[in-house]
Chains A and B, each alone.
Chain A
């Protein structure tokens, strides 16, 4: 079984300040982990993914995340927020080793607000 907990439902930052979106996961196998972003009434866009390679993963738009097995965490960060980063962010886990055939489990999402 797998699960994802996004610790904050809403994060508000000022433009130019760092962003931290927290995610903890639970998995029976070696997981693949993803962060997706969703703008209003749009589909999901992949920001970055971890698939058992380097633990520090760099994604698009300046985002990165670090896989910490000991803490079962995969927090998303960005050094400096931009107004266009305002969106809903989802942490996602996939238990490929469990034969789930790419079945994804989504966190509840974190709404990021960026203030001018």
Chain B
């Protein structure tokens, strides 16, 4: 199956700094990628839809200035958590689907801890 790679898998940062998370589709092109956030023992919450070459579409209640998404190429989307605070600590997961395919492939996730 298709492979989605997410980096880093784990990051610890100081409060007030920014953190960038990368999501790459390794063997297919993805015009659309999705970013999710997962709280402990909770389901995945869709944060935004990343669209190649255009602005991301954010879900209601997600601060677009806080969570910056860039989808500069057909194989790479980045999520930048700006001015991170402890409440931003979470597990972030991206997904992508090859064109004409109904299956979503997920990255391995990034555990963000803000101290």
Question: Which residues of A line the B interface, CB within 8 A?
Answer: 32, 34, 36, 41-46, 49, 51, 90, 94, 96, 101-104, 106-109, 111
Beta-carbon contacts of B87-110 to A below 8 Å, as 1s and 0s? 000010101010000111111110
B108→A43 contact, CB < 8 A? yes
Residue pairs across A and B with Cβ atoms less than 8 A apart, 19 shown, are A34-B104, A41-B91, A41-B109, A43-B6, A43-B93, A43-B109, A44-B106, A45-B106, A46-B105, A101-B32, A101-B49, A102-B34, A102-B102, A103-B46, A104-B95, A104-B104, A108-B43, A109-B42, A109-B43
In the complex, how many residues of chain B place their beta carbon closer than 8 angstroms to a beta carbon of chain A? Answer: 23
Given A41-B91, A42-B108, A43-B108, CB of A106 within 8 Å of CB of B102: no
A101 vs B34: C-alpha distance when bound (angstroms): 11
For residue B44, CB closer than 8 A to chain A, the reply is yes
Q: Name B1-59 residues within 8 Å CB distance of A.
A: 1, 6, 32, 34, 41-44, 46, 49
A58 vs B87: C-alpha distance when bound (angstroms): 40
For residue B85, CB closer than 8 A to chain A, the reply is no
B46→A104 contact, CB < 8 A? yes
Q: Which of B43, B102, B107 contacts A49 (CB 8 A)?
A: B102
Given A42-B109, A43-B93, A102-B32, CB of A94 within 8 Å of CB of B43: no
A94→B44 contact, CB < 8 A? no
In the bound complex, residues from chain B placing their C-beta under 8 Å from that of A106 are 43-44
A41→B111 contact, CB < 8 A? yes
A41 vs B112: C-alpha distance when bound (angstroms): 11
